[in-house]
A and B are shown apart, each in its own frame.
Chain A
Amino acid sequence: DGGITQSPKYLFRKEGQNVTLSCEQNLNHDAMYWYRQDPGQGLRLIYYSQIVNDFQKGDIAEGYSVSREKKESFPLTVTSAQKNPTAFYLCASSIHPGAGDTEAFFGQGTRLTVV
């Protein structure tokens, strides 16, 4: 089945620790995105990537880092510089606009909690 796989489903981070969230897609999509969801707020864009080896900051990139070494993978690292990391993280992908359908598809999310 084609789709987006996020792992782990739950993640616990100690103070001062870096953690990495995994996102893999087999939809052959060019564009990939990371969003953060907090209660009572809309999803906010952290980082996005249009092609391999290229990525751009979104609206709330501080304290996060990403890489895009393969088309199908877009891992997100939450660094110790992110002061309020407890949230639900969602990865998404879409065919690069210009190819027609630009529907966005999402993974099942990773819930990160600081302990």
Chain B
Amino acid sequence: KQEVTQIPAALSVPEGENLVLNCSFTDSAIYNLQWFRQDPGKGLTSLLLIQSSQREQTSGRLNASLDKSSGRSTLYIAASQPGDSATYLCAVSRWNTGFQKLVFGTGTRLLVSP
């Protein structure tokens, strides 16, 4: 059974700091890995999608890496801003008898202070 763990569960940093969020998964047979952002009481916003054949993806100040063999992904946020405060979720996708099943971690709650 695929299990996804995110460490730390919560993180508080001052504005401007670079930071790394971690995601680990137990089964390396994944289709892709996706990072999401969730603001309080809101839905999920897709940030980055990394296909299983890729090593990293970048979007603006965000960079996500994937190491399938070790079952790890990191989300790097450069020059953090108060607007980055949210919960960040990672999800791994498996191709299971004809459909894409996402397995989610419990998230890292990020607070960036001015």
Let me know if A90 and B44 touch, CB within 8 A.
yes
Of B34, B89, B101, B107, the residue contacting A103 (CB under 8 A) is B34
Q: Please report the C-alpha to C-alpha distance between residue A92 and residue B105 in the assembled complex, in whole angstroms.
A: 17
Judge if B53 is at the interface, Cβ distance under 8 Å. Answer: no
Judge if A17 is at the interface, Cβ distance under 8 Å. Answer: no
Interface size class of A (residues with CB under 8 A): 20 to 34
Let me know if A108 and B99 touch, CB within 8 A.
no
Q: Which of B27-82 contact A (CB under 8 A)?
A: 31-32, 34, 36, 41-46, 49
Binary per-residue interface labels of chain A (81-92) against chain B in the complex, 1 for a CB within 8 Å, 0 otherwise: 000000010101
Q: Take A97-B31, A102-B32, A103-B49 as given contacts and tell me if A45 and B43 are in contact as well, using a CB distance cutoff of 8 Å.
A: no
* A-B contact number at CB 8 A: 64
Judge if B110 is at the interface, Cβ distance under 8 Å. Answer: no
B interface majority secondary structure: strand
Let me know if A97 and B42 touch, CB within 8 A.
no
Q: Take A97-B31, A102-B32, A102-B93 as given contacts and tell me if A107 and B43 are in contact as well, using a CB distance cutoff of 8 Å.
A: yes
Judge if A50 is at the interface, Cβ distance under 8 Å. Answer: yes
Q: Please report the C-alpha to C-alpha distance between residue A33 and residue B49 in the assembled complex, in whole angstroms.
A: 18
Closest to A42 in B: B104
Q: Which residues of B contact A103 (CB under 8 A)?
A: 34, 46, 49
Q: Please report the C-alpha to C-alpha distance between residue A46 and residue B8 in the assembled complex, in whole angstroms.
A: 27
Residues of chain B having any CB pair with chain A under 8 Å: 4, 31-32, 34, 36, 41-46, 49, 89, 91, 93, 95, 98-107
Top 4 A-B pairs ranked by shortest CB distance? A42-B104, A106-B44, A108-B43, A43-B104
